[in-house]
Amino acid sequence: MYDIEARHIIEALRSGIPSRAVGQYFSEARPKIMKEISGRLDMVCDSHRSSGMVICGKYGEGKTHLLNTVFNLAHSNNMVVSYLSLSKETPMDKLYLVYQKVIQNTYLPKRQQPGFMHELEKISANSPIANEMLLYAAKHLETDKLYYLFRSYLNTEDSDEKFLLQADMEGDFVANAPLKKIYRRIFGQPVKYNVNFTKTRHCGDYFSFMSRLFTQMGYHGWVILIDETELMGRLGKKARLNAYRNMARFLLPEFCPENTFSIFALSASYVEDVIEGKHEYENLSAVYPEEQEPARTVLDILSRAPQLLPLTRLEIQEVLYKIQDFHGKAYEWTPNVSLSSLVESTQAGGYLLRTKIRAAIEFLDQLYQYGKAGQTTVNELGEETFTEDVPSIEDFD
């Protein structure tokens, strides 16, 4: 019987599809940046110090793989992990859409599937954790909407109301009128907001509430991993500037929710193509002359983000040795090939790590099927573009 896990590893590497399992088994490369990230995670766990960072790299050089490695490392530290990719449907300039996607892709430690509402359902109305969260929602957030919402959630016995309130905490925000009606029905008291909640202005409250909730549940912190950050370059000018402002909530300690660590993965060409090519510093001065922070600081962070260097020859050899081992387990054979021959087979794969790996797997496939290998060729990859999408009507508000 072939090794199912090994087959999964090989097929994930062959396709180039990001895989947490690959991140778990191929975690030794790039020890310098992994040491820094490990230290940042320890700071969250031990000192409750929040922070964030940006990593950049060329296409196919392992940015997503690094995020998957951090995913596994965070889970081993008993930390909650959220993993998402920015897209047209999840743009960084609209934090409420980012929140919704973050919650949909939140994994509790050692869980293979996302979701945590089953843990929330275990909290009773008068438990210590409930009292702590209600006090926090009432006194420490920009608005007190979540106090009324969470108190209603804990005390309602109506399944439809429970579903509506739970959906709100997952990012499908309920309007103020239904929430006020539910609260009055349960407690016989009116809702009196200290500040009227709007999702475009106050979504940060939800990130803060959830980070406190995860801590109260006994987890050591919340790690937020955001891929495809370069897609911000396709937003309009004002939308990009607002996206930088929103990034500050994940990168700058004074804006971060408590006990969080965030990583943004960015294309290496973003600085040249967008920050310099579209004159972002000048745009910021023109659009927000009196309120350039924190967007300016975020632009500085993006401009000097550490770049993932190509793996050394020794690191590539270590990766290929593991691939050879997994390929043998996956297909129940013993690859009778020297490591030097396997390294030589990757030369046709170009300079990208991803295509080198595919070339090595194809080489092993041919040996397995035919007993010998032919010449492997890899076509050139297309170049990334950052043409702006047509702005939505909300961009003109």
CB 97, CB 392: distance < 8 Å: no
Residues 223, 105 share a domain: yes
Determine whether 166 is exposed, middle or buried from the number of CB atoms within 10 Å of its CB (0-12, 13-18, 19+). Answer: middle
Kindly give the parts of the chain with pLDDT less than 50.
Answer: 1, 380-381
Tell which residue, 145, 179, 147, 177, has the closest CA to residue 165. 179
What CA–CA distance (Å, rounded) separates 322 from 10? 10
Q: Encode 340-374: b = buried (16+ Cβ within 10 Å), e = exposed.
A: eebbebbeebbebbbbbbbbbbbbbbebbeeeebe
Residue 196 lies in a domain: yes
Residues 336, 299 share a domain: no
Residue 238 lies in a domain: yes
CB 257, CB 224: distance < 8 Å: no
**Which residues have CB under 8 Å from 171's CB, separation 6+?**
96, 97, 99, 100, 101, 102, 103, 104, 206
Residue 269 lies in a domain: yes
What CA–CA distance (Å, rounded) separates 221 from 273? 35
Work out whether the CA dihedral 135, 140, 142, 146 comes out positive or negative. Answer: negative
What CA–CA distance (Å, rounded) separates 266 from 304? 12
- CB 321: neighbour CB atoms within 10 A? 13
Residues 228, 258 share a domain: yes
Matching residue, tokens 């895989």 = 19
* pLDDT recorded at residue 379: 52
Residues 123, 244 share a domain: no
% of the chain exceeding 90 in pLDDT: 66
Tens-digit pLDDT profile for residues 185-226: 999 999 999 999 999 999 999 999 999 999 999 999 999 999
Tell which residue, 216, 305, 312, has the closest CA to residue 263. 305
Give me the CATH number covering residue 242.
Answer: 3.40.50
**Which run of H or of E encompasses 168?**
helix 159-169
* pLDDT recorded at residue 394: 55
Last residue of a domain, one of 283, 303, 323: 303
What CA–CA distance (Å, rounded) separates 370 from 357? 20
DSSP 61: S
Last residue of a domain, one of 262, 280, 303: 303
Helix then strand then coil, % of the chain, to nearest 5:
55, 10, 35
Tens-digit pLDDT profile for residues 136-189: 999 999 999 999 999 999 999 999 999 999 999 999 999 999 999 999 999 999
* pLDDT recorded at residue 349: 58
Q: Domain of 185? A: 118-202
Residue 391 lies in a domain: no
Tell which residue, 24, 25, 13, 22, has the closest CA to residue 362. 13
Amino acid at 374: G
Q: How many domains does the structure of the chain reveal?
A: 3
CB 246, CB 95: distance < 8 Å: yes
What's the pTM value of the predicted model, to 2 decimals? 0.86
Matching residue, tokens 């971060």 = 256
Matching residue, tokens 């090595």 = 360
Tens-digit pLDDT profile for residues 349-361: 566 778 888 888 8
Residues 296, 245 share a domain: yes
* pLDDT recorded at residue 1: 47
* pLDDT recorded at residue 387: 60
DSSP 301: H
